[in-house]
């Protein structure tokens, strides 16, 4: 949110209060507390009729500094709190010197000078990382609302990454972004997975600890600052030191959580019924047998929405007109060696037999008058399950339990973004705070149920929406992209951005979701999709079995599915890194080569784990241009070798793409 009108002026109607001096600095337990009035205090009269901001600096663990800026400390917080891994007993070093107060933790420190002007400096490894300078922190009144903001400086050549699964430019400088989940596809500034965390190429990351809307101005209001603000009376954020980007992610995910180990079968090929297609057991078996007959290894079969009756989503009951023997069908599928996934969402349509039960027992979000909050958008008269009610969460998973007992292995937890801002929750929480956080409760409920049911390391979701900490409930996929080369590139940017936001696993709809891919696009997307951490054939209007596109697609699908199976041990090692260190399997080049001046800008290629480089082909003609970093590389498909540090242009057939492995002695930690 922009509060200024150019460099000199405030927007009309904005009342701003900025810390002008560190009037008092004192140690309070393990905190460094700074009391900062909004104007210099030169006499006793200057202490009257003005705002006083309280800034508290502490550390939850080594190399991380927590900052809390507050105006009125008596305000009762109503937003849900992220589940952070902190050590209350950890004690940073605090030094109250005559010239400046310093809090240090590991290689990170914050320096608050005495007096004026206001200039807080964060240092890491002996160098300045970023600063909160004059008029950076502030308390704002605007249009009857109050906000707390902070601005952190950007240095020359400093680039910002992360902030969730964002489909625009990988480098976020110059963008205005709101952390606010939306069901908006992949072609706008809105996103399904909004994460209030960014990292830069200058050795640090910033996590804004707010589950509500966080507005970011990334060099877009003031060119040399990142501003973030929240509504209310306090703002809390964390500075996380690296300096390497891998270390930043490792420490960020130590704070917010890391993905668990996933079952090996999840890394194989998933095949879906697609969305609006007509299908029954005969159709499903023809797909499964057709893949086997064509020598394409298949791991998971997914039933999308219409395994249930229309207007009934969700009643967790098979449409008996289409599937008269669901238990028998699932047994027959499992006998072919496949796992089974079912589509669900957290909404209960009015036509569902479960609607009346949920309404009577208070399991849904409500309106202010106590009635059920309902809408016709998506499903007629649908209600939204209130996961702040433990009984509602248990009720929801009881219905999943009978499906798991029937043979279902996992669930596609779709939706979770269209959550109203005016609803009443069981726990009386702030609905604005729960808009983003709802998806955390939804996916946590389902994932932890599967872990209890099947055991650790055996649970898996296929989720669309997420917020900070959602990486603990994998896998996530990229949502509703179009069937175009442009959307394929958008999709990759989204995956790279999500990986730089702490998420270890990610997938996307091969061929695009909206529309019908032409054969050339589909075959190029097959190579990209099968060289991602997780791979799924899915669409909206048409079956995505490869022979439905053309016969050459069968060959391409077979080739790359088998290729992925051959590198499965390597993928499992990369998955272990995600679990232990918070590193994504699909990685931006900048993450693996932070010192290479070319890599910060690359968003049409990626590293698959630490050693494999992949450059998808985004042109109908097969033309591709990519950068091979310094080192010795071997092409995985054709065996040729190449010394890196160079750009390469080539034209690829459908059975190849740039897929290189760097020699082990070039592998970086």
Catalytic: which of 100, 233, 315, 414?
Answer: 414
DSSP letters along 292-330, please? HHTT----EEEE-GGGSPTT--S-----TTT-S-HHHHH
What are the backbone dihedrals phi and psi of residue 643, each rounded to the nearest 5 degrees, phi first? Answer: -85, 130
Mention every residue, 6+ apart, whose C-beta is less than 8 A from residue 310. Answer: none
How far apart, in whole angstroms, are the C-alpha atoms of residue 71 and residue 73? Answer: 6
Could you tell me which residues are beta bridge partners of residue 8?
none
How far apart, in whole angstroms, are the C-alpha atoms of residue 106 and residue 222? Answer: 31
How far apart, in whole angstroms, are the C-alpha atoms of residue 116 and residue 94? Answer: 21
- Find out whether 199 and 248 touch, Cβ atoms under 8 Å: yes
Question: Tokens 């797909």 map to which residue?
Answer: 287
How far apart, in whole angstroms, are the C-alpha atoms of residue 409 and residue 394? Answer: 19
Residue 178 annotated to the active site: no
10-46 residues labelled b (16+ CB within 10 A) or e (exposed): eeeebebbbbbbbbebeeeebbbbbebbbeebeeeee
Residue 31 annotated to the active site: no
How far apart, in whole angstroms, are the C-alpha atoms of residue 254 and residue 100? Answer: 30
How far apart, in whole angstroms, are the C-alpha atoms of residue 299 and residue 268? Answer: 5
Residue 376 annotated to the active site: no
* CA 480 vs CA 46, 70, 269: distances in Å: 57, 40, 19
- Find out whether 235 and 149 touch, Cβ atoms under 8 Å: yes
Mention every residue, 6+ apart, whose C-beta is less than 8 A from residue 635. Answer: 641, 642, 658, 659, 660, 661
Short-list 228, 219, 242, 240, CA closest to 154: 219
Provide the 10 A C-beta neighbour count for residue 603: 18
Mention every residue, 6+ apart, whose C-beta is less than 8 A from residue 595. Answer: none
CA dihedral 600, 604, 607, 611 (to 10 degrees): -100
Task: Determine the 3-state secondary structure of 384 from DSSP.
Answer: strand
Catalytic: which of 31, 409, 417, 514?
Answer: 417
Classify residue 52 by burial, with Cβ atoms within 10 Å: 0-12, 13-18, 19+: middle
* CA 366 vs CA 305, 314, 374, 428: distances in Å: 25, 18, 8, 11
Catalytic: which of 38, 233, 315, 480?
Answer: 480
Q: Please report which helix (H) or strand (E) contains residue 55, including its range.
A: strand 52-61
Question: Tokens 């098979």 map to which residue?
Answer: 318
Question: Tokens 């890194």 map to which residue?
Answer: 577
- Cα dihedral 125, 130, 131, 137 sign: negative
* CA 410 vs CA 283, 304, 406, 440, 464: distances in Å: 21, 12, 12, 17, 14
Tokens (6 digits) for 591: 């993450």
- Cα dihedral 451, 457, 459, 462 sign: positive
- Find out whether 476 and 470 touch, Cβ atoms under 8 Å: yes
Task: Determine the 3-state secondary structure of 63 from DSSP.
Answer: coil
How far apart, in whole angstroms, are the C-alpha atoms of residue 145 and residue 62? Answer: 36
How far apart, in whole angstroms, are the C-alpha atoms of residue 213 and residue 61? Answer: 26
Tokens (6 digits) for 1: 């949110």
Q: Which residues are catalytic?
A: 414, 417, 480
């Amino acid at each position: 949110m922009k509060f200024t009108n150019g460099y000199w002026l405030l927007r009309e109607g904005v009342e701003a209060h900025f810390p002008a001096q560190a009037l008092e600095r004192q140690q309070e337990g393990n905190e460094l507390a700074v009391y900062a009035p909004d104007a210099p205090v030169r006499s006793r009269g200057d202490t009257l009729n003005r705002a006083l901001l309280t800034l508290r600096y502490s550390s939850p663990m080594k190399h991380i500094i927590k900052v809390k800026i507050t105006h009125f400390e008596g305000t009762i917080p109503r937003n849900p709190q992220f589940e952070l891994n902190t050590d209350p007993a950890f004690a940073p070093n605090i030094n109250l010197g005559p010239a400046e107060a310093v809090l240090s933790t590991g290689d990170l420190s914050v320096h608050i000078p005495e007096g004026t002007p206001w200039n807080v400096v964060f240092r890491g490894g002996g160098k300045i990382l970023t600063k909160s300078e004059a008029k950076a922190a502030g308390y704002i009144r605007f249009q009857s609302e109050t906000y707390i903001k902070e601005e952190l400086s950007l240095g020359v050549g400093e680039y910002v990454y992360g902030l969730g699964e964002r489909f625009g430019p990988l480098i976020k400088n110059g963008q205005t972004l709101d952390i606010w989940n939306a069901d908006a596809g992949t072609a706008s500034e809105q996103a399904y997975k909004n994460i209030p965390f960014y990292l830069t190429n200058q050795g640090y990351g910033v996590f804004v600890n707010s589950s509500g809307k966080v507005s970011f101005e990334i060099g877009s209001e003031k060119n040399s600052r990142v501003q973030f603000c929240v509504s209310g009376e306090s703002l809390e954020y964390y500075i996380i030191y690296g300096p390497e980007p891998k270390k930043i992610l490792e420490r960020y995910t130590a704070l917010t959580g890391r993905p668990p180990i996933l079952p090996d079968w999840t890394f194989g090929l998933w095949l879906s019924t697609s969305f609006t297609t007509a299908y029954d057991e005969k159709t499903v078996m023809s797909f499964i047998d057709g893949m086997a007959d064509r020598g394409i290894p298949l791991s998971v079969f997914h039933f999308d929405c219409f395994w249930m009756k229309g207007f009934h989503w969700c009643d967790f009951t098979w449409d008996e007109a289409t599937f008269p023997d669901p238990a028998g069908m699932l047994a027959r599928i499992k006998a072919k060696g496949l796992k089974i996934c079912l589509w669900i969402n957290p909404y209960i349509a009015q036509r569902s037999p479960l609607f009346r039960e949920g309404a009577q027992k208070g399991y849904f979000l409500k309106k202010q008058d106590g009635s059920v909050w309902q809408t016709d958008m998506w499903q007629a008269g649908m209600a939204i399950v209130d996961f702040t009610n433990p009984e509602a969460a248990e009720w929801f998973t009881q219905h999943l339990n009978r499906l798991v007992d029937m043979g279902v292995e996992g669930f596609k937890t779709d939706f979770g973004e269209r959550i109203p801002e005016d609803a009443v929750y069981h726990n009386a929480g702030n609905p604005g705070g729960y808009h983003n956080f709802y998806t955390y409760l939804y996916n946590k409920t389902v994932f932890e149920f599967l872990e209890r049911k099947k055991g650790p390391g055996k649970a898996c979701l296929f989720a669309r929406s997420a917020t900070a900490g959602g990486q603990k409930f994998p896998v996530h996929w990229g949502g509703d992209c179009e069937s175009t080369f442009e959307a394929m590139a958008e999709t990759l940017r989204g995956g790279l951005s999500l990986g730089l936001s702490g998420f270890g696993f990610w997938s996307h709809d091969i061929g695009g979701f909206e529309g019908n891919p032409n054969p050339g696009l589909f075959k190029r997307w097959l190579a990209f999709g099968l060289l991602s951490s997780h791979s799924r054939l899915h669409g909206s209007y048409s079956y995505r079995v490869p022979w439905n596109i053309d016969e050459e697609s069968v060959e391409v699908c077979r080739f790359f599915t088998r290729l992925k199976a051959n590198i499965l041990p390597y993928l499992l090692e990369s998955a272990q890194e995600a679990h232990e260190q918070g590193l994504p399997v699909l990685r931006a080049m900048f993450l693996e080569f932070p010192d290479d001046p070319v890599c910060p800008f690359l968003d049409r290629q990626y590293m698959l784990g630490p050693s494999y480089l992949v450059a998808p082909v985004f042109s109908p003609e097969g033309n591709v241009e990519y950068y091979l970093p310094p080192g010795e590389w071997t092409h995985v498909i054709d065996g040729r070798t190449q010394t890196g540090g160079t750009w390469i242009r080539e034209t690829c057939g459908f059975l190849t793409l740039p897929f290189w492995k760097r020699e082990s002695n070039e592998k970086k930690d």
